[in-house]
Amino acid sequence: MKNSLFKRAIATAAAVPLALTQSLTYSFAADTDASVPAATTTAETTSASNSFDLNSLLYIAPAKTSTESEWNLKLDGVIDQLIQDGKTTGDIEIADLAKTAVANAGDVKEIASALLGTISDAKYTINKDGDVVVSAKVGDVSAALSKNFKYSLGKFAADLANKYNAPAFNAIDFSKVVVGGTIEIKIGTSQLGLETKLPVEFTFTPVDGSALGPQATLDYTKEKIAAYKALFDAAADASDGIDKAACKAEIAKNIGKYDDLYGIAQRMLDRVMKFTKTADYSKSGNFAGLLAEANNWAQRRNRTVPASGKALANNATVAKVYDNLKTQLNNAAAPASFDISAADLGAFADTLQNVKLDAAEGKTTLTGSFEDAEADLVKALFESDPALDYDGSYKIFTATLDASSLDEKGVTVEFTVKRIVNTKAKESTTTSSTTTTTTTTTTSTTSSSTTSSSTTSSTSSSTTSTTSTTTTTYLTTTAVATAYAELNATYGFYTNLDEAFAAKQVNGLEIVVIYNTGYTDENGTSHVTSQESQVVDAKMNFSFGDKTPANTYSSTSTDFKYEIPVVYTGEDIKDYAGNTIIASGSVLSLANGQTATVTAYIGLKGDANLDGKVSAIDATYVLSYAADLSGMDGEVKDPQTLRLSKQYAGAEDPSGIYDNFAAFLADVKNDVSPLHAWSLGKGSITDGTSRAFTAQDASAILKFCALVQDGGTPAEAWAQIIK
């Protein structure tokens, strides 16, 4: 059911502009005997890898505690690399996809082909925020519908002209109804470094209006259907000698078929948004049971859903479309590659156990468990554990579709893979011993005379006693010796007006918990017999608390440098006894006891000379620097070789932190996303991309000074200048 629901949601969003006809009708083929390769090989992969198969995305590093797959961080790394390499846009080939759609369109192939032929300029773009935007233009739909083929408006007009001998119907100018525009689907990949959710937003911008969400697009479609009907009614009114009432009734009936399609789309939208269901498929074949229920629903609509993930993957249409999209994805993401076949996904789905579905008001969650490919490695971690025995581990796959806001903007999808580790306490034992004691006694008597004689006698006795004793057994304990954070972070640049620090300053964050296992003897002396560590990946579970650049900046600072504490926001970290070691909301500390912080440089927007204020002098600095960059010979100079803040003591090095920080503050008329601005001085911390310094920056600084002098606040002034 979940599979069907997901396709319905996507179909609603993507097919709305084409809702004037039922052009895309897919049917599934029967199961085939083609073999499906099992996806069971385990290979440890890292986020630096350029090749991703299903195993690498399901992989979870062995640990004693539950952890999650970092598929989102891997994908985030691919997006970042594409941005750094300048590979942020490309074409999407839709010709083959359109042919596949037409081939499955049944008796509406002609109209489907005509409508799909109006779609052009399909492309993808990674925008400045790091989101992926897929767009396409929809051309003159009216021209396609006016052609003379089955179910088209053009054929209906010709039929009416012949039936009523009314030439006015052949003269209908369908171009009076303007239908066309641009489809955009934005996938929110910009937050993948922080979460496993992907918001998907749909907009349709008609050539004769502003951007519309899914519901507004459906309403737009209904308006256009009404406009087409008005053209037919006008032709009937212009025709003399016909039964106009009968003619208009026939028009209403036939145009009503298009209204019916609108109604189907509207009901689908409403049902997806309100979908509520709870189901446990563990007793009916798990994924196969889910597909069986979906098939019952589909058969009522003359469709067939395959009986297994394998059969679904083997379906000719599914495989063809999947392979086409995968090839285009790999071309766009090169040198990264995604080597996940439809067969891999089908085989994985068939292995799921304990499959359950839980939906309420459009938020649908599908869960299923599967074998832990790293189970042996997890088990090895417990071999020397004095207190715990490994009792098995498995993984849980969770997919969530939140369509509760589908009418306004779109859906949010989320995928997580989590390991569950089961352990049990070890049992203690006692021993007994037998002791044998032997005692020897010797007696000696000596006397002396003229006739000397001596007598010596000795006796010995041996006794054996047996006692049952218990060897001294000390209570073995495992306790936390220390807990600390290991932080890998870079510095960031901010203005006093910024409302948040960038999470991407943190490249890595792990919390290390050291456990000492040992005992205390009868004298009260502690003995450590072994030591182990637990590592918790907190890369996605931290914040900077209530700190922002705006509330951190101080005009009394002379070095603009601030250390921002890192706050742990994940679930409480507990020891084996359930005691809290690090509570959610705690400020983290490093191994040396110091607070874990990231470094932020915060200054006034426009303060090019770093004197702690914004004035006309800063505008002069920017003009001078822009002139230096262009040079007398017109050759653009490397900004890292030219000094901008020529008076500030810490900015002697043109490529150093402070001169780059001055450039960050000076480039006020920039087009840099807040998502990336923190890492840009004269260029990017990662790839050296240059900023632009022009007279516009200087002019903006002068305008700012004037507006503030007239009583405006800095925030209001910059908002007015930079629109």
Q: Are 310 and 342 in contact (CB under 8 A)?
A: no
Predicted confidence (pLDDT) at residue 661 exceeds the cutoff of 60: yes
pLDDT in tens, 272-291: 898 898 999 998 999 999 99
Nearest by Cα to 50 from 329, 340, 338, 342: 338
Q: Any idea which residue has 């022009």 for tokens?
A: 694
pLDDT at 487 over 60: yes
Q: Are 683 and 714 in contact (CB under 8 A)?
A: no
**Single-letter code of the amino acid located at 326:** K
pLDDT of residue 20: 31
Share of the chain above pLDDT 70, in %: 83
Is-contact 514 481, C-beta < 8 A?
yes
249-259 average pLDDT score: 87
What's the mean pLDDT in 208-233?
92
Q: Characterize the bridge pairing of strands 337-338 and 51-52.
A: parallel
Does 663 have pLDDT greater than 60? yes
| pLDDT reading at 463 higher than 70 | no
Task: Kindly report the number of other CB atoms within 10 A of residue 87's CB atom.
Answer: 14
Residue 665 predicted with pLDDT over 80 = yes
Per CATH, is 616-721 categorized as 2.60.120.370? no
Question: What tens digit of pLDDT does each residue of 549-563 get?
Answer: 999 999 988 899 999
Which are the contacts of 375, defined by CB distance < 8 A and separation ≥ 6?
392, 393, 394
Q: 306 pLDDT exceeds 60?
A: yes
Closest CA to 509 of 547, 540, 546: 540
Determine the pLDDT at residue 684.
64
Query: Could you tell me which CATH number the domain at 477-603 has?
Result: 2.60.40.3810
> What's the confidence (pLDDT) of residue 450?
31
Tell me the pLDDT tens digit for each residue of 320-363.
888 988 898 888 888 888 889 999 999 999 999 999 999 998 89
Which range (233-247, 437-451, 600-614) has the least confidence?
A: 437-451
> What's the pLDDT at 524?
74
CA angle, 341 as apex, 335 and 347 as ends, to 5°? 145
Run of H or E including 6: helix 2-15
Cis amide bond preceding 167, omega within 30: no
Percent of the chain at pLDDT exceeding 90: 37
Say how many C-beta atoms besides its own lie within 10 A of residue 64's C-beta: 21
- Residue 483 pLDDT greater than 80, yes or no: yes
Q: Number of C-alpha atoms within 13 angstroms, CB side, residue 550?
A: 7
Q: Given a cut of 90, is residue 607 above it in pLDDT?
A: yes
Q: Are 211 and 204 contacting, i.e. CB atoms less than 8 angstroms apart? A: yes
More confident residue, 528 or 250: 250
Q: Which of 29, 332, 79 is nearest to 198 (CA)?
A: 79
Q: Report whether pLDDT(446) > 50.
A: no
**pLDDT (average), residues 14-19:** 34
pLDDT at 564: 96
Average pLDDT of the residues in 193-220? 91
Contact 682, 663 (CB under 8 A): yes
Half-sphere exposure (CA, 13 Å, Cβ side) for 623?
A: 11
- Report CA-CA distances (Å) from 300 to 293, 295, 297, 311, 598: 12, 9, 6, 20, 59
Q: Is pLDDT above 70 for 8?
A: no
Q: Compute how many other C-beta atoms are within 10 angstroms of the C-beta atom of residue 305.
A: 22
Task: Output the pLDDT for position 478.
Answer: 67
pLDDT of 449 reads 34
Highest-confidence range of 58-72, 344-358, 664-678, by mean pLDDT?
344-358
Quickly tell me which residue has 């191994």 as its tokens.
591
Instruction: Label residue 585 by pLDDT band (50, 70, 90).
Output: very high
pLDDT, residue 473, reads 54
CA–CA separation, 690 and 670 (whole Å): 11
- SS3 label, residue 686: coil
pLDDT confidence of residue 369: 95
The span from the CA of 534 to the CA of 515, in Å, is 8
Residue 5 has pLDDT above 70, yes or no: no
Higher local confidence (pLDDT), 675 or 235: 235
Residue-level pLDDT at 433: 37
pLDDT at 371: 94
User: Mean pLDDT, to the nearest integer, of 261-279?
Assistant: 87
Residue range 192-215: average pLDDT? 90
Whole-number pLDDT of residue 427: 65
Positive or negative: CA dihedral 323, 324, 327, 333: negative
Q: Angle 517-518-523 (CA atoms, 0-180°, nearest 5)?
A: 155
Instruction: Look at residue 246 and tell me whether its pLDDT is greater than 90.
Output: yes
* Residue that wins the pLDDT comparison between 673 and 245: 245
28-37, 203-212, 387-396: segment of lowest average pLDDT: 28-37
Name the most confidently modeled range: 34-43, 111-120, 597-606.
597-606
Specify the pLDDT at position 172: 94
**Mean local confidence (pLDDT), 156-176:** 93
Total residues belonging to the chain: 723
Q: How many CB atoms lie within 10 A of CB 525?
A: 8
CB contact at 8 A, 197 and 398: no
CA 165 to chain centre: 61
More confident residue, 623 or 11: 623
Distance CA(512)–CA(537), nearest Å, equals 9
Enter the DSSP assignment of 9: H
pLDDT the model gives residue 390: 86
Q: What is the pLDDT of residue 682?
A: 84
pLDDT interval class at 588 (50, 70, 90): very high
DSSP H helical segments within 473-592, as ranges?
549-552
What is the rounded average pLDDT for all residues in the chain? 80
Closest CA to 620 of 647, 650, 658, 660: 647
Tokens at 368, concatenated: 């299923």
Cα distance between residue 181 and residue 411, in whole Å: 22
pLDDT of residue 174: 92
pLDDT at 42: 34
Which pLDDT score, from 0 to 100, does residue 476 have?
Answer: 63
pLDDT at 28 over 70: no
Average pLDDT score over residue span 535-542: 89
Please report, for the chain, the start and end positions of each structural domain, with discontinuous segments joined by +.
2-423, 477-603, 616-721
Confidence of residue 466 (pLDDT cuts 50, 70, 90): very low
Q: Which residue has the higher pLDDT, 451 or 97?
A: 97
Which of 624 and 105 is assigned the larger pLDDT?
Answer: 624
Distance between CA 389 and CA 404 in Å, rounded? Answer: 44
Question: Highest-confidence range of 29-33, 258-262, 542-546, 649-653, by mean pLDDT?
Answer: 542-546
Residues in contact with 149: Cβ distance below 8 Å, sequence separation at least 6, in sequence order: 110, 111, 114, 155
* For residues 145-166, average pLDDT: 90
